Amino acid sequence: MFSRLRAYMRDYKQGVQILNEGYAKYSKHGRAWVSPTILCQPTVMLATSHISWFFKQPEDVLSNKVVQASLLEAPYVISDRLFENPLHNDIIRKDLTRNLESLTPGIVEEINVSLDEVWGTDTETWREVKVLETMQKLAVRTASRALVGLPLCRNEVYLKNAIHHAMGMALGGLVCRLLLPGVLKPALGHVAGLPCRYFTWRSYRLLAPQIKQHMEAIENEPSDTSNPEKGSSYSTLENIVRASLKHPDPRERSPWAITERPPEKQYVERIRDEAATVLQESNGPWTRSAVARLYLADSAIRESMRCSTVGGRGAIHEVMSKEGLTLPDGQFVPQGTYLGLPFIPIHRDEEFYPGPDEFDPERFLEHKPSIAILDPEKDGADRADEKSVSKKQALATTSETFLAFSHGRHACPGRFFAAHVLKLTLAEMLLRYDIQHLPERPVGKYISDFMEPPTKATISVRRRKATISVRRRKATTSSSGLQAEKAEEIVNGNV
Ligand code: HEM
């Protein structure tokens, strides 16, 4: 028991170091090994040569769903129904991603209104702002704009609820798992889940009038237009209500069923130039295809996710087969064992990423930039055949060696939306604000293998006087092939 406690303490303090050591000693040599983790039971980390095999295993052999439900302590903290009927997965995968075009104007407006509030509109003086606060505000506002729309996405109570709900879910699961012995969970687990349930209830109260409106509108629709094309009036919330009304289980039909180093200064200028050029070329407001042409921004964000992977271990699956499982290296693991991949060491492996400790914003660019709009219904490789090759390296494309959104059946379905919003946010920040370059990159700290961002980090920003017009010169394709035509100068005009 004491040796297990010692292992947990070591994982808490040196989780990433343990991962790196195990990776070099075993994973790189075709052997699986056991990694202690304070978050759940000890987990078998697979070898790099096992990755293809791992992602091919069916759900009844290796299940990720069971692990997610167990890590969140679903029955106590949220609800088992969320895992039994994952309505949200289909809505995110299909409706949300398909409707990125019609959601874009609202998302851009939300980014700018939020930036005005957090970074101000003063063009004379620099303002010191907190990085984490900015990103939290922008993330929750833009996601809420896309999911529930106006006016709720600007309702402070609703937004705080959303943040507290997410924190309550993570903390509730942690308390339940770490502090409550199995026998006490049925009695006390619901107490650990109380904060999460409370914020869920408060959110429902705020959402109820909108849900009711959508239900009435859907019920009054003529039967032959039960799923009309929405175009610019697309609403994610309406589609969630629509899907829940069709659900075979009557309980789900109720409205309550919803359940290192800083980059070189020149790169910042180049990402700004790229945004200005793309916007100019698209002759107007941002569109989905314009955002898809932000190649350098795409590559730089993907590189940032490679270098600063949030979770060091990932894609955790539980062995479901009663008879256990034999790994490709011949080792046997019994039913109930957790298997996973060491994300951080894979992202820092010289074999997959030459110069792995360098932050290289151009790493994923090819000479001819050709990242096209991603079709979420196909995998990167299929899409690449249709249009071009570099989509394989696009921000939302997962692979066996780019795992920030995981990979395979349970890869993050929100990644197309997240990639779109992240690129838009970066572009709008740079087009509208000057940002003082920091000599040193503020670093986060790892607790076990989880990255806590540098919570106190600040940057100085100032609203740009000039909005954008771009004087262009004939193709000056840089060595990275960043742009066919390069924005040369940013002067007056309007974004
Ligand atoms: C930069 C932002 C994001 C990152 C880095 C990210 C990362 C991930 C990762 C690593 C997983 C796999 C978890 C596991 O294996 O247990 C995941 C799953 C998931 N993500 Fe995301 N995510 C992001 C944004 C989003 C957004 C915006 C949404 C919703 C709109 C979303 C919805 C989901 C869902 C529903 C799953 C579970 C999928 C399943 O089990 O099949 N994510 N995400």
Share of the chain above pLDDT 70, in %: 82
Query: Would the CB of 103 count as within 6 Å of ligand 1?
Result: no
Position 265 scores a pLDDT of 66
Q: Which residue bears the tokens 């026998």? A: 183
| pLDDT, tens only, 238-249 | 888 877 777 666
Higher pLDDT, 489 or 325: 325
Ligand 1 pocket test: pick from 301, 412, 420, 426 the residue with the most ligand atoms within 8 Å of its Cβ.
412
Least confident of 14-18, 178-182, 343-347: 178-182
Q: Whose CA is nearest to atom 6 of ligand 1?
A: 405
Q: Say how far apart CA 435 and CA 114 lie, in whole Å.
A: 17
Write the residue with the smallest CA distance to atom 40 of ligand 1.
Answer: 410
Interface predicted TM-score of the whole assembly (ipTM), two decimals:
0.98
Query: Average pLDDT for residues 36-57, to the nearest whole number?
Result: 93
Q: Is the pLDDT of residue 367 over 50?
A: yes
Q: How many CB atoms lie within 10 A of CB 87?
A: 18
The closest residue, in CA terms, to atom 14 on ligand 1 is 315
Q: Which helix (H) or strand (E) holds 314?
A: strand 313-319
* Ligand 1 atom with the shortest distance to the CA of 403: 10
Whether residue 62 contacts residue 181, with contact meaning beta carbons closer than 8 Å, is answered with: no
Task: Provide the pLDDT confidence category of residue 258 given band limits of 50, 70 and 90.
Answer: very low
Distance separating alpha carbons of residues 271 and 299, to the nearest angstrom? 10
State whether the beta carbon of 315 lies less than 6 angstroms from ligand 1. Answer: yes
The DSSP call for residue 264 is P
**Smallest Cα–Cα separation from 478: which of 306, 371, 361, 359?**
361
CA angle 85, 242, 377 (to 5 degrees): 65
Nearest to 282 by CA among 103, 434, 104: 104
Ligand 1, atom 35: closest residue by C-alpha: 89
Residue 422 Cα to ligand 1 midpoint, Å, equals 14
Does the C-beta of 404 come closer than 6 Å to ligand 1?
yes
Q: Please state the domain extents for the chain.
A: 265-310+359-490
Lowest-confidence region among 24-33, 241-250, 325-334, 384-393: 384-393
Residue nearest to atom 17 of ligand 1 (CA): 412
Answer yes or no: are the C-beta atoms of 35 and 42 closer than 8 Å: yes
> Which residue's alpha carbon is at the smallest distance from atom 28 of ligand 1?
414
Tell me if 405 CB under 6 Å of ligand 1: yes
CA geometry: angle 76, 82, 85, nearest 5 deg: 140
- What is the pairing mode between strands 338-342 and 43-45? parallel
Confidence of residue 264 (pLDDT cuts 50, 70, 90): low
* pLDDT tens sequence across 58-74: 999 999 989 988 888 88
